């Protein structure tokens, strides 16, 4: 739990405003998450908060953000910019309020049915007296989901690193597999380089099985140590790969 909280604070670091005492009670939507058909994933988002502090009025706004963590809660898979909405009714002390339904679109898919954790963070935003939330540990909530692939419901057994990347087998003799837990559509660049920095394989020669899975034929490459560089949107990961025939 401590690691999850640290990840969320990093993911939501841009939210640094004074708060009153609201508590996130539940994530009501999405009811499920499934890969889209066009390389992106869409779903609804809705959550319920409870007001544990002074009454909130229709002039108040709630600042919120959401993120997706891997099953172990050791890495952020998807992080989003914060959003804001204005409440439409007074929330008395002890009262609850359900947010509007927000349509969410993620530029990417998982490609396999994968257990994930969905996290939401919310604060009251525009308080002129700048009160501080009495209990900031209840401003976020995490809910487990199964992110489904588009067809079927087989479960992924791939083990990903903290960069949401799996490279196997390693050492490799004939074909190297590269799996991305979350692939940003049309924004994946892969290079295999020798220790002198020479590119021996890139997107022009790598086989893209799906947006999340790539294969590199290495049978014609010399034995030795190589560097695999994977850029997935703004995320860049490097992995040492040993070729041994």
Per-residue pLDDT tens listing for the chain (245 residues)? 555 556 665 555 544 444 578 999 999 999 999 988 777 889 999 999 999 988 888 988 888 999 998 888 888 888 888 899 999 999 999 999 999 999 998 877 787 788 999 999 998 876 555 545 666 788 889 999 999 887 654 555 677 787 788 899 999 999 999 988 777 766 789 999 999 999 999 988 888 877 778 999 999 999 999 999 999 877 888 999 999 99
CA-closest candidate to residue 119, choices 223, 236, 4: 4
Q: Are 35 and 109 in contact (CB under 8 A)?
A: yes
Q: For residue 176, what pLDDT is reported?
A: 95
| Residue 71 domain flag | yes
| Residue 143 domain flag | yes
Q: For residue 155, what pLDDT is reported?
A: 52
Q: How far is CA 230 from the centre of its chain?
A: 17
Residues 174 and 223 in one domain: yes
**75 Cβ neighbours under 8 A, 6+ residues apart:** 7, 69, 160, 162, 163, 164
C-beta neighbour count of 161 within 10 angstroms: 14
Q: Are 60 and 53 in contact (CB under 8 A)?
A: no
- How far is the C-alpha of 194 from the C-alpha of 196, rounded, in Å? 5
Residues 123 and 204 in one domain: no
- Taking the alpha carbons of 82, 85, 91, 97 in that order, is the dihedral positive or negative? negative
Q: For residue 16, what pLDDT is reported?
A: 45
Q: Are 24 and 122 in contact (CB under 8 A)?
A: yes
Residues 124 and 88 in one domain: yes
Q: For residue 75, what pLDDT is reported?
A: 80
Q: For residue 74, what pLDDT is reported?
A: 81
Domain enclosing residue 218, as ranges = 165-243
Q: For residue 238, what pLDDT is reported?
A: 93
**Domain with 213 in it: what CATH number?**
2.60.40.1220
Q: 113, 148, 183: which is the final residue of a domain?
A: 148
Query: How many residues are listed for the chain in this entry?
Result: 245
pTM: 0.70
Residues 135 and 16 in one domain: yes
Q: Which residues pair with 23 in a beta bridge?
A: 50
Q: For residue 116, what pLDDT is reported?
A: 92
Element (H, E) at 8: helix 2-11
**Domain with 10 in it: what CATH number?**
2.60.40.10
Task: Give how many domains the chain has, as a whole number.
Answer: 2
| Residue 232 domain flag | yes
């Amino acid at each position: 739990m401590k690691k999850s909280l640290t990840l969320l604070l990093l993911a939501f670091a841009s939210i640094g405003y004074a708060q009153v005492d609201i508590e996130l009670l539940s994530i009501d939507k999405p009811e499920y998450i499934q890969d889209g058909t066009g390389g992106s994933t869409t779903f609804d988002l809705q959550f319920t908060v409870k007001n544990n502090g002074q009454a909130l009025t229709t002039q108040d706004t709630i600042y919120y953000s959401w993120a997706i963590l891997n099953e172990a809660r050791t890495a952020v898979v998807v992080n989003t910019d914060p959003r804001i909405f204005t409440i439409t009714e007074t929330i008395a002390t002890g009262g609850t309020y359900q947010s509007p339904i927000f349509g969410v679109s993620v530029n990417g898919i998982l490609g396999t049915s994968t257990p994930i954790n969905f996290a939401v963070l919310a604060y009251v935003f525009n308080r002129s007296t700048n009160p501080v939330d009495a209990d900031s540990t209840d401003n976020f909530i995490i809910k487990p989901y199964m992110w489904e692939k588009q067809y079927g419901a087989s479960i992924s057994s791939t083990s990903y690193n903290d960069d949401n990347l799996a490279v196997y087998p390693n050492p490799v003799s004939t074909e190297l597999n590269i799996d991305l837990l979350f692939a940003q559509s049309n924004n994946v660049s892969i290079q295999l380089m020798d220790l002198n920095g020479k590119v021996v394989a890139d997107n022009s020669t790598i086989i893209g099985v799906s947006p999340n899975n790539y294969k590199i034929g290495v049978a014609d490459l010399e034995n030795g140590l190589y560097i695999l560089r994977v850029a997935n949107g703004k995320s860049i990961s490097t992995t040492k790969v040993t070729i041994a025939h």
